[in-house]
Structure 1
Amino acid sequence: MDRAFDVPHRLEADIRARAAQAPRPAPLSPERREEVIERIKRLLKERDAVLVAHYYVDEELQMLAEETGGHVADSLEMANFGSRHPATTLVVIGVRFMGETAKILNPEKRVLMPDLDASCSLDLGCPADEFTAFCDEHPDRTSVVYANTSAAVKARTDWVVTSSNGLQIVRHLKERGEKIIWAPDKHLGHYIQRETGADMLLWDGACIVHEEFRADALKKLIDENPNAEVLVHPESPEAVIELADVVGSTSRLIKAVRESDADAFIVATDFGIFHKMREAAPHKRFLVAPTGGEGGTCISCAHCPWMAMNGLENLADVLESGRNEILIDEDIRRKAYQSVKRMLDFSRDHGLVGGPAKCD
C-alpha cells in the first residue's frame, strides 16, 4: 500500500475534532437580524463589494447574496461569477478553498471571507507537502485533484476538476493512455474510476458530511417512501451511490429536481441545498438521507460545520473592517491558475459546465 494512504488516517482525529469545535454564529433576534442585514447592504455599496455564496451555507445568506446582486453556486461558478462581476471586492460565503479559488482566478480583486477558519475535511486531509511527496513517488502518473483542495495543492497538480466535469476529464486522460493520481476524495475517485475504467491511485480522503450517509438506513427510508427519487452526491460512499436514481454535482441534483416528474426526493448531500431545490420545485417534498445507522456518528448530521460558521454578523464585520482577506503567494497562485485554466479550457471546448477564465 502506498505511504500516502496513511496520511488522512493520521489526520482524521484532528479533522473530526476541529469539525466538532467549529463555532456557530449566535442566533439573532428579528430586530437585530434586520439591523445587520441593512448594515450589510449599505457596506456592500460603500465597499464596491458583491457576495458569492455556496449552496451549502444557511438559507438567509443565500437569499441575501441574490437580493443584493450576488450569486449562489458551486465553488467554481462562484469564482467565475467574480471574474464576470465588476465589483472590486468579492466576499466569499463558504469555506477557505473557495476563497482561494476566487483569488486564483481574480488576483486583481480583494477577496474576503466571514471566517478564514472555515475549512474543509478534504482540504485538511490533503496537506501540500504530503501530496507533493506522493506525486514525486509516482512521476509516471498525471495528477488530478478535486477542487476541494488548497491553492498549494492546486499549484502542484496537473489538473483540477469538479464533480461536474471530473468524469469527462478523467475519461479524456484515460483515452490518451495516462495513468492517474487522484486526490483527495476517495469516494468520488472510486466512482470516477468505476465509471471510466481509468488506472487511478486514490488518496484516502473523505468529506465528513457525505461519508456519514448510511446505506442500511437509506434503504429503510426508501422502503417508507417508494415513490421518492434518490439523489446522491458522488462524495458519498459506494453503497449509498448504488441506491441512487441520480448521481451528480450540486448543480446536477438541483437540475434533477427541476426536471423530474417525482414529487418527493431523498437527498444525500448537505441539506443547505434544500433552499435552491425548494426554489426550483416549491411544491415538492425533500427528505434528508439518513446519517444514522450502523457505524454512524453524526458528526455533521448532513450539514458542514465549517459552512455553518458563516453568519450575518461576521459577514457584516468583515465588510466593515476589511479583515479576513485571502492572500496567496503569487508564484503559487500562478501555478495553481494553470491547472485550473486547463480544466476551464477543457470545459469550454467540450461544452461542459464552466467557461474560459480570463488569462493573465
Structure 2
Amino acid sequence: MGHTEQKAFEFDQPLLHSASLNGQACMTSILPESADAQAVGKAWAKIPAPLSSEQEQLYIQEIKQLMQSRNAVLVAHYYVDPVLQDLALETNGCVGDSLEMARFGRDHEASTLIVAGVRFMGETAKMLSPEKTVLMPTLEAECSLDLGCPADQFSAFCDAHPDRTVVVYANTSAEVKARADWVVTSSIALEIVTYLHEKGEKIIWGPDRHLGQYIQNNTGADMLLWQGSCLVHNEFKAAELASLKKQYPDAKVLVHPESPAGVAALADVTGSTSKLIQAAVDLPAQTFIVATDAGIMHEMQKRAPGKIFISAPTSGNSATCKSCAFCPWMAMNGLAGIKQCLTSGSGEITLDETLAKRARQPLDRMLAFAETHKKSVRASGDLLEDMKLFENIGAA
C-alpha cells in the first residue's frame, strides 16, 4: 500500500470592504477575487493511498458486515470514488446530490448514516435526521465554497443590507444556513429566485458567484453576490472548451452552472448534477463534453453505456489544471475511512441543537417549495395559496 498524498489547494477567499453607514462601521460590499492578492485561501487535502483490487475486496466485505451489524446505510455523492458509489448501491444505499443524500438518509430505517462526501453534506444529513448517528470517512473533507464563506463575514455582509432576502446555496456551513432565509440547491435555485423576484424581493446570494450570476441572468432578479467559487468548476475555461468543441463538432456540451459564464454560454445543457445525468441519457448524441467534476461520468456511463464522455478542459493556455476536474476533498473519502468510522465511531457529525434547528428552517422551506413546485401544473392561484404554507415555516 502506498503513502497518503497531502497537497495544498487554493480557493477564493472574498474580502469585505468596510464603509460607514449612518455613522456606524459596516461591511457593505465584496471585493472581486482579483482586487487583492490576499483574497486567496489555502487548505490541505489528504488523498488516501491507492488500494490493490484484493485490498478493495477485503475492505468491501468487512464494511458490508459492519454496516449490517450497526444498522448503517451508505449515502454517497456522485463526485466520490466510483468504488464508493457502487458500494452504496450494492448495500441498498444512495448515490445522489447533497439534498438527495440527506433526504434518503432521513427516510431510511437505518439508525446510522455513513456520508461519503464533504462536511457540509454530513451536516445537512444531521439536520434532517437529528435522531440518527451521522458518520463520515473523514471530517477533513472540505468544500471551497464553504471555506470561502465564513459565517461571521457573511453575516456582517447580510447585516449591512437588512432589506434583502438571504438565499444561500446548500454548499455552506450550518452557521451560514442559519443566517439565511432560504437554502437552495442548483436543481431548484432558479425557481425559488424567480418566485422571490416576482414578489419584488431583493436578494443577497451566497456563496458561488458563477451560479449566482447564472441565476441573475436568467431571472432578472436584483442580487448582491458573495464572490466565492467552486475549486473544480472555476477551473473550466471557455477558450479551451471552444477548441475542444471544434475537435468534436457533434458532441453535446453539459455544464454545471457553478462554471464561469463563458463556459456556460457554450453549453447545450446547463443544470444540476441530476439534470446533466438525465441529459446524457435522453439526448441522441453519442459524445458529450462534461463541465463538472469528472466523478459524475461513472453514473453517466452506467446509465448511457456506449456513449463517450469527455471531461471539459482544465489545462491549456488559459487554464491551470489545479484540480483537473476532480474535487480533492471528495477524493479524501475512501474504503479505509468508511471501515474506521464504522469500527470506532470516528468522524461523527455533531451540531448544537439550537443552531441545527435554525439552520433547518430555511432548508425545510426549500423542501416545501420543491414539493409544491411539483404540482405547478395546477392553476397559478392555487399554487400561490400553497406558497403561503411554506413562507411561514420557522417564522415563529
| Interval of TM-score (by shorter of Structure 1 and Structure 2) | over 0.9
- How is 1:198-213 mapped onto 2 (pairs within 5 angstroms)? 198-213=221-236
Give the TM-score, by structure 1 length.
0.95
Deviations 1:145-189 (A, max 9, x none): 000000010001000000000000000000000000000000000
Identity among equivalent pairs (%):
59
Indicate whether 1:5 and 2:30 are aligned.
yes
- Distance in 2 between residues matched to 1:171 and 1:213, nearest whole Å: 27
- Distance in 2 between residues matched to 1:60 and 1:4, nearest whole Å: 43
Q: How far apart are residue 6 of structure 1 and its match?
A: 3.5
Alignment partner of 1:169: what SS? helix
- Distance in 1 between residues matched to 2:307 and 2:135, nearest whole Å: 36
Alignment partner of 2:156: what SS? helix
Alignment partner of 1:326: what SS? coil
Counterpart in the other structure of 1:66: 89
Is the CA contact (8 Å cut-off) linking 1:264 and 1:285 kept in structure 2? yes
Is the CA contact (8 Å cut-off) linking 2:28 and 2:160 kept in structure 1? no
Q: How far apart are residue 11 of structure 1 and its match?
A: 6.9
Counterpart in the other structure of 1:278: 301
- Distance in 2 between residues matched to 1:12 and 1:262, nearest whole Å: 41
Alignment partner of 1:290: what SS? coil
Q: How far apart are residue 23 of structure 1 and its match?
A: 1.0
Q: Which has the higher contact order (CA 8 A, sep 6+)?
A: 1
Question: Which range moves more in the overlay, 287-296 or 263-272?
Answer: 287-296
Is the CA contact (8 Å cut-off) linking 2:239 and 2:318 kept in structure 1? no
- Distance in 2 between residues matched to 1:29 and 1:288, nearest whole Å: 26
Point out the structure with the larger strand share.
2
Cα pair distance change 1:125/1:344, threshold 3 Å: same
Q: Paired residue for 1:115, among 138, 150, 155?
A: 138
Q: After the TM superposition, which parts of structure 1 deviate over 2 Å for at least 4 consecutive aligned residues?
A: 1-4, 6-14
- Distance in 1 between residues matched to 2:81 and 2:262, nearest whole Å: 28
Counterpart in the other structure of 2:211: 188
Counterpart in the other structure of 1:233: 256
- Distance in 2 between residues matched to 1:285 and 1:118, nearest whole Å: 30
Counterpart in the other structure of 1:313: 336
Q: Paired residue for 2:160, among 132, 137, 155?
A: 137
Is the CA contact (8 Å cut-off) linking 1:11 and 1:125 kept in structure 2? no
Is the CA contact (8 Å cut-off) linking 1:37 and 1:312 kept in structure 2? yes
Alignment partner of 2:315: what SS? coil
Partner AA of 2:212 in structure 1: G
Deviations 1:189-211 (A, max 9, x none): 00000000000000000001000
Q: How far apart are residue 294 of structure 1 and its match?
A: 3.5
Partner AA of 2:70 in structure 1: R
- Distance in 2 between residues matched to 1:160 and 1:206, nearest whole Å: 17
Alignment partner of 1:52: what SS? strand
Deviations 1:67-86 (A, max 9, x none): 01100000001000011100
Counterpart in the other structure of 1:179: 202
Cα pair distance change 1:167/1:76, threshold 3 Å: same
Q: How far apart are residue 3 of structure 1 and its match?
A: 4.4
Is the CA contact (8 Å cut-off) linking 1:145 and 1:182 kept in structure 2? yes
Partner AA of 2:89 in structure 1: E
Counterpart in the other structure of 1:344: 367
Alignment partner of 1:135: what SS? helix
Q: CA RMSD in A?
A: 1.9
- Distance in 2 between residues matched to 1:343 and 1:50, nearest whole Å: 25
Query: Which one has a bigger Cα radius of gyration?
Result: 2
Is the CA contact (8 Å cut-off) linking 1:7 and 1:130 kept in structure 2? no
- Distance in 1 between residues matched to 2:37 and 2:114, nearest whole Å: 33
Give the TM-score, by structure 2 length.
0.86
Is the CA contact (8 Å cut-off) linking 2:240 and 2:318 kept in structure 1? no
- Distance in 1 between residues matched to 2:235 and 2:65, nearest whole Å: 40
Deviations 1:85-117 (A, max 9, x none): 000000000000000000011100010000101
Counterpart in the other structure of 1:154: 177
Partner AA of 1:228 in structure 2: A
Partner AA of 2:30 in structure 1: F
Q: How far apart are residue 32 of structure 1 and its match?
A: 1.5
